[in-house]
A and B are shown apart, each in its own frame.
Chain A
Amino acid sequence: MTLLEQNSQNNSARTGSSPTGVPGGASKFTSLVFRAREFGIFGILIVFVLLTTAVKPRFLAAQNIKFILIDTTIFALLALGETMVVISKNVDLSIGSILGISAFVSSNLYQQFHHISIVIVFGVGIGIGLALGVVNGVLIAFGRVPSLVVTLASLYIIRGLDVLIVGGRQVVASSLPSNFISVTSASFGAIPVISIVVAIIVVGGAYYLKNYRSGRDLYAIGSSEQAAALVGIPIAKRIFTAFAISGAIAGLAGVIWASYYGTIDSTAGTGYEFTVVTAVVVGGVAIVGGSGSAIGAAIGALLLNTINSSLYVLGVSAFWDQAISGLLLILAIALDRGLGLYVAKSLRKRSSRVAS
């Protein structure tokens, strides 16, 4: 075939001609900024720790570190579920309410069955969360209702259910057995055992998201749902699973919360969803989906809790805590947005340079 010969000649003649790759200036800049962001969170964290310790050395006392870590543990766990959801370009606002109802119902089991196994208590808490997450997931993934609306509704409905169930009652620490309390009180030095366990879960979750096809699917869906559909990713199934897992995780967090605080009424976990979403976004998970990691989100949670604690130790008004959280959130989003605009602009300039 003369044609093929001719072509291969053409090709060999052309091989080695001008380098065809366009230098990826924008991409290198992009990944640099993303990395800079994770270091940035760490930087802010260290600044807060150093400043606070300089003024009040007791900030680094073992007991205080332990407080910070346990609070962080609960938020970092919730942030794992939220990360899966946010990566797929959704949001789960119901986690605070799920935590609340799971905390009461699971710990309240001890009032009725004094010698119930701790495994069952955890199972019930996780089961409640899973069931509620499944309801969210069905409505969002198969009912195609926006997650913001669905989970905002379930935030109120679940909290309402919680108030109905709890009534004026309360679970008090004295009614809880010691093995349940020790879930959160056991520690190696200043580091609570539960924090280590949750750290392993978070790292495992991040590993799953990075190394499994179904995990990458969530990133793909969040990055471009249209492209995901073209590739044939089971979009509804993946989003459903993300919400189910987020619910189950919130249920687990509820049991841990009950073990730590001991006193549980119908207000447990109120407003946690906002702290968690803040932690996730500050930790580098793009609110528009497609990028970020559960480990970043956990670091975000650590930062928020550290700031909270350091302001408390310094005797600064709690208002500043919220104001700083808000500021960090805006910074994080502004960074994403600015980056997006920068890339879009540089792309447009580049194509126009080429055209003219």
Chain B
Amino acid sequence: MSSETDPVVSLSGAKKYFGAVHALEDGRIDLYAGEAHALVGENGAGKSTLVKIFAGLHRPDAGRLCIEGKEVVFNSPRDAIQSGVAVIYQEPTLFPDLTVAENIFMDRQPQRSFHRIDYRGMNQAARAIFARLEVDLDPTRLALGLSIAEQQIVEIAKSLSLEARVIVMDEPTAALSSVEVDRLFRVAQTLKSSGVAILFISHRLDEVFTLCERVTVMRDGRFVQAAFTTETDEDSLVRAMVGRDVERRSDQVRGVDLKPLLEVEHLTLEGLFADISFSVAAGEVVALSGLVGAGRSEVATAIFGVRRYDYGKVKVGGKPIKRGSPSAAMAAGIGLVPEDRRLQGLVMEQSIARNIAMGSFKSLRRKGLIRSITETRFAADWSVKLQIKYGNLANSVSTLSGGNQQKVVLAKWMSRSPKVLIVDEPTRGIDIGTKAEVHRLILELAKSGVAVLVISSELPEVLNLADRILVMREGRLVGEFDHSEATEEAIIAAATLSKEVKAA
């Protein structure tokens, strides 16, 4: 192995803060020519931040980035490209209306006399790269309609035309079929044998062992361990990825004879998720867990009617709900606290009072009109109940902190007395204190008889809140755990490994 030689790229002691959030505390990785190095870790372990440093999108607040021994600073994606570092994203950004060859050579097209573009030369050059990668892609076709796998190949071809020495692949296989993964790996092998260093990010541990020589584990923004793949195994990687104590919810409110309130049967939306069936009983908190991109939020929005599913049924209290209609879902008593509260949960420019009252206009109006005093009183009541900290209810909701914004969204739905509440990433970007309050609110809601479905990428949160935990991987339900038997290891294993895990 080439462990004796010096790394092409070496990152050490990298830190990156966003305000109070420490996205990266100790980013460390060495990449060697002709080798693939895997980077694994849970959601939020700091992998994407590290990738963005390599891409020149983030400047680390501390740490050293060296290329062939020389320290470099990337101020823009251009700097990174010029230093020979190319990043292939999971879903590349291409020009759909231009040909594949143009996408590869945009603004670097070969020229002939009078600076005219040499289309023939450009297509030949693209063909030559594809031949080198041993893929069969027509350079003259439009990028429109290329599959994601093909788009990634185009990006790889682009980085080769730029003579990249380091190629970072950020979860390239997440959206690929097994045939496409095989092809990507063949391309990656070709790249390795031509001396390119690859940084490979993946949640699928089996892929790590197929493709990579080395693997680095990160957790909570920190480097945990680096090893040769020949000297480690999946179990020890999973252990390194989790590696922390878990706080547990103490008051288990589990009765035996719970009648399902929300029933989801064989829900399918082609390309996003398939055959999702589960139920949530009144008073129960069920968590939908899995990796980012596993299709959890898509299921939530389909239940709520924002997305129209292809097949399946959603029932509340035994009554089926019309698909693709949020108003039908709301009428049946479903509420959705969405993933992105700024975009989907709130009208940021409107007042706090208006945002709280927004779900209850029907009950607040008198003779078809809503008086602002009614609205304000209503909002004030709920702000007290949820302990929302605000200056003035008439201020726009954008003046609130993230935690209080989330409480406004919760207040909006709680004031409708929902039967079913779906909460997507309830505490993302919220400080620890408010987090605990939000957790308490969710548990109180459940105690009062609401069926709660929580979607969360944070395993401690899932384990803390849920009575039952469902795990999704690549659009399918792959595991179900009772609160008592769930462990972080088991959930991560179900979410990342290709074999089915079913708790006994």
Question: CB within 8 Å of B: which residues of A?
Answer: 1, 3-4, 7-8, 10-11, 14-15, 19-22, 24, 26-28, 30-31, 210-213, 216-217, 219-220, 222-224, 226-228, 230-233, 286, 289-291, 343, 346-352, 354-356
Contacts beyond the supplied A216-B109, A231-B106, A351-B148: 16 A-B pairs with Cβ under 8 Å: A7-B190, A8-B193, A11-B134, A14-B134, A20-B186, A26-B144, A27-B141, A30-B142, A213-B109, A224-B96, A232-B78, A290-B97, A349-B270, A354-B177, A355-B474, A356-B274
Report B301 CB to chain A, min CB distance, Å. 16
* CB of A85 to closest CB in B, whole Å: 16
At the interface, yes or no: B308 with Cβ under 8 Å from chain A? no
B167-211 CB mask vs A (1 if < 8 Å, else 0) is: 000000001010110010010011011000000000000000000
Contact A230 B107 (CB under 8 A): no
Report 8 cross-chain contacts, Cβ distance below 8 Å, ordered by A residue: A7-B190, A20-B134, A21-B136, A27-B141, A27-B142, A216-B106, A222-B97, A290-B98
Given the interface pairs A20-B135, A356-B274, the reply to whether A230 lies near B93 with Cβ below 8 Å is yes
- B115 part of interface (Cβ distance < 8 Å): yes
Contact, CB under 8 Å: A233 / B107:
yes
Give the chain B neighbours of A355 by CB distance below 8 A: 177, 271, 274, 474-475
Say if the beta carbon of B369 comes within 8 Å of chain A.
Answer: no
User: Given the complex, which residues of A lie within 8 Å of B144, measured CB to CB?
Assistant: 26-27, 30, 343
Q: Is the CB of B93 within 8 A of A226?
A: yes
A11 and B189 contact, CB distance less than 8 A:
yes
**Is there contact, CB below 8 Å, between A211 and B35?**
no
Number of interface residues of B (CB under 8 A): 51
Chain B interface residues (CB < 8 Å from chain A): 1-2, 34-35, 77-78, 93-98, 102, 106-107, 109, 111, 115-117, 134-138, 141-142, 144-150, 175, 177, 179-180, 183, 186, 189-190, 192-193, 213, 270-272, 274, 474-475
Question: CA of A217 to CA of B34 in the docked complex: distance in angstroms?
Answer: 35
> Is the pair A348, B94 in contact by a Cβ cutoff of 8 Å?
no
In angstroms, how far is the closest chain B Cβ from the Cβ of A152? 24
Q: How far is the CB of A84 from chain B (nearest CB, A)?
A: 15
**Residue numbers in B under 8 Å from A354 (CB-CB):** 147, 177, 179-180
Residues in A with CB closer than 8 Å to B78 are: 232
For B137, the chain A residues whose CB sits under 8 A away are 21
Asked if B192 contacts A233 (CB within 8 A), the reply is no
Let me know if B102 and A14 touch, CB within 8 A: no
A223 to B144, CA, bound (A): 10
Verify A212–B93 contact, CB threshold 8 A. no
CB neighbours (8 Å) of A227 from chain B are 93-95
Among B134, B271, B475, max chain A CB count under 10 A is at B271
A31 to B141, CA, bound (A): 9
Instruction: Name the A residues within 8 Å of B135 (CB-CB).
Output: 20-21
- Assess whether B95 is in contact with A220, with CB atoms less than 8 Å apart: yes
Q: Which residues of B contact A19 (CB under 8 A)?
A: 136
In angstroms, how far is the closest chain A Cβ from the Cβ of B336? 23
Given contacts A3-B34, A354-B180, contact A211 B116 (CB under 8 A): yes
- The answer for the CA separation of A21 and B150 in the assembled complex, in Å, is 8
Of B93, B177, B180, B189, which contacts A10 at CB under 8 A?
Answer: B189
Q: What separation, in Å, do the CA atoms of A58 and B183 have in the docked complex?
A: 65
Residues of A within 8 A of B189 (CB): 7, 10-11, 14
Contacts of B97 in A (CB 8 A): 219, 222-223, 286, 289-291
- Chain B residues, CB < 8 A from A349: 270-271
- Docked pose: A10 CA to B78 CA in angstroms: 34
